[in-house]
Amino acid sequence: MLIDSPHWISIIILLPILGAVASFLWRQHIVKIALTTATGTVISVGILSWQVISNGVQCYELGAWNAPLGIELYVDGLSVLMLLVTAVVGFAISIYASAYFEGNKSKHFWPLWLFLWSGLNALFVSSDIFNLFVTLEIIGLSAVALVALSGGAKAITAAMRYLLVSLLGSMLYLMGVALLYHSYGTVDMVLLSLRTEMNPAMWLIMGLMTVGLLLKTALFPLHFWLPAAHSSAPVPVSALLSALVVKASFYILWRLWIVVFPLDNDAQVGLGFILGVLGSLAIVWGGVKALQQTRLKLLIAYSTVMQIGYLFLAFPLASIMGWKAALYFILAHAIAKTAMFMVAGNILIHKGHDRIADLYSTVQHLPLTIVAFSLSGISLMGLPPSGGFVAKWLLLEAAIVSGQWWWGIVLLVGGLLTGAYVFKVLGYAFIQENSTNEPRPIGISKRMEWTALSMALFAIVLGFIAPFVLGIMDIGSPFTKGSL
């Protein structure tokens, strides 16, 4: 049967690359090719997910070489959810971008984006640390190029800084990979998990890899590059970066932390405490900075800094429930943040600016867009019913069960800060004023409004399908030591 074929794992990687090349070659049909590729990729990911959900973990050896030599691809519940969220966000962004970009920029956007998508898919199915490095580089380079797309001095500066940070992060990670290979003679995660042991060299390795990946994930205080990069990029790119790209490096760190690093439970809690503190600082700092912003896109970018902080609260808890909460945060944030950046894009085109204090009457002109903003805001705040609420609930429960209730307080403070900046925007959008010195608002395409709204609705729907999603997380028990 076609549907049972083992090749779907490689198809989800190859298809976007083929699409990228094709869209580069036949520019007159670029949007058609890109959207066809996007649809095809979503279907392939869907079939692969179906295989995993009904048959369990899927493995595939490229070129039929065995584990130590060849490239092994591996898909468990964690990978499936990351692939699925990438597919959902990726598809929505493709639809949105087909209305957003016009002319020249579109020419560069599509090949780069499809290339990036291929990198993301490859990353989520890789199970050796060198392969992960390669995919991380693919993602990093295409992301930098995408940031530079919008042109202008500001975007170029942001892109340059992003490039340097990204390279530095990859380099640190690569040093870790080299040291691991040197010490243990393999780059395969499963083999490493059997061989690694605590010694001074291991501390160095852990330090290098963690810092490198944190830099790419933009955890406070290594977030300095993120607001500029995410806010100066074109809107579909901002959405991609916030929703998916920062999660890619987080995903690697996560796998390393659970599988490769020889940490027992006490060490996980102890070292996790440092990450938890950094996460808490990210939440407070990101929230306060978001509240101070006068531009919508910057506000949303700082909100990402904050939401990344939530993910790290799971580390000191070191429990399966905590990890599941973190994963739910990833899903909910990816969907809601995509919707929110799309909202910012709609407002930008409609009003010609994104100054928060001048958003008056937006409710009247773009009701669907404001509804989308509110719904995605609800999820980010973690109010029920939404994906954000499920994540918050799980994390609160995990914190209280493990006796570390203070992380729960941080979580609630974060929710209130989010509420403050979400409603700051909504409050201005509800004001009715008639200003004459404002250029006439421009009508925007229905497709953009509806894509934003669909994503926001999906963030709410995530609040109702928790048992199903949490069930998928158990496949291959990715959060247990030595699972892979």
Applying CB under 8 A, which residues contact other proteins? 363-364, 367, 371, 374, 378, 381, 383-385, 390, 392-394, 396-397, 400-401, 408-409, 412, 415-416, 419, 423, 426-428, 430-432, 464, 466-467, 470
- Looking at the Cβ atoms of 228 and 417, the one nearer to other proteins is 417
Question: Which H helix or E strand runs over 25?
Answer: helix 8-25
Task: Compute the distance between CA of residue 472 and CA of residue 355 in angstroms, rounded to an integer.
Answer: 41
User: Could you identify the residue written with the tokens 């490198």?
Assistant: 212
Residue 344 C-beta: closest distance to other proteins, Å: 21
The residue type of 235 is V
- Looking at the Cβ atoms of 349 and 457, the one nearer to other proteins is 457
Sign of the Cα torsion 130, 93, 298, 161 reads positive
The residue type of 113 is W
Write out the E strands in 327-416.
Answer: none
CA 478 from chain center: how many Å?
Answer: 19
340's CB contacts (< 8 A; 6+ apart) are: 300, 303, 372, 373, 376, 377, 380, 456
Q: What b/e string do you get for 351-371 counting C-beta neighbours within 10 Å, with b at 16 or more?
A: beebebebbbbbbebbebbbb
Residue 416 C-beta: closest distance to other proteins, Å: 6
Residue 447 C-beta: closest distance to other proteins, Å: 18
What is each CA distance from 165 to 140, 168, 197, 212, 461, in whole angstroms? 10, 5, 30, 9, 36
- Looking at the Cβ atoms of 63 and 468, the one nearer to other proteins is 468
How many Cα atoms sit within 13 Å of 18 on the Cβ side?
11
Structure tokens at 471: 């069930």
Give the single-character DSSP code of 312.
H
Residue 481 C-beta: closest distance to other proteins, Å: 22
Residue 451 C-beta: closest distance to other proteins, Å: 18
- Looking at the Cβ atoms of 191 and 426, the one nearer to other proteins is 426
- Looking at the Cβ atoms of 191 and 420, the one nearer to other proteins is 420
Residue 408 C-beta: closest distance to other proteins, Å: 7
Residue 107 C-beta: closest distance to other proteins, Å: 37
- Looking at the Cβ atoms of 69 and 400, the one nearer to other proteins is 400
Between CA 411 and CA 418, with CA 414 as vertex, the angle to 5 degrees is 140
Contact yes or no for 239/341 (Cβ under 8 A): yes
Structure tokens at 71: 């490239």
Residue 285 C-beta: closest distance to other proteins, Å: 19
254's CB contacts (< 8 A; 6+ apart) are: 323, 326
- Looking at the Cβ atoms of 90 and 316, the one nearer to other proteins is 316
Residue 227 C-beta: closest distance to other proteins, Å: 25
Helix ranges restricted to H, 70-151 = 77-100, 104-125, 129-148
Task: Compute the distance between CA of residue 337 and CA of residue 300 in angstroms, rounded to an integer.
Answer: 8
Task: Compute the distance between CA of residue 360 and CA of residue 432 in angstroms, rounded to an integer.
Answer: 6
CA 423 from chain center: how many Å?
Answer: 24
Write phi, then psi, for 303 (nearest 5 degrees).
-60, -35
Residue 466 C-beta: closest distance to other proteins, Å: 5
Helices and strands in the chain, H and E counts: 21, 2
Task: Compute the distance between CA of residue 98 and CA of residue 447 in angstroms, rounded to an integer.
Answer: 9
Residue 426 C-beta: closest distance to other proteins, Å: 8
Residue 343 C-beta: closest distance to other proteins, Å: 17
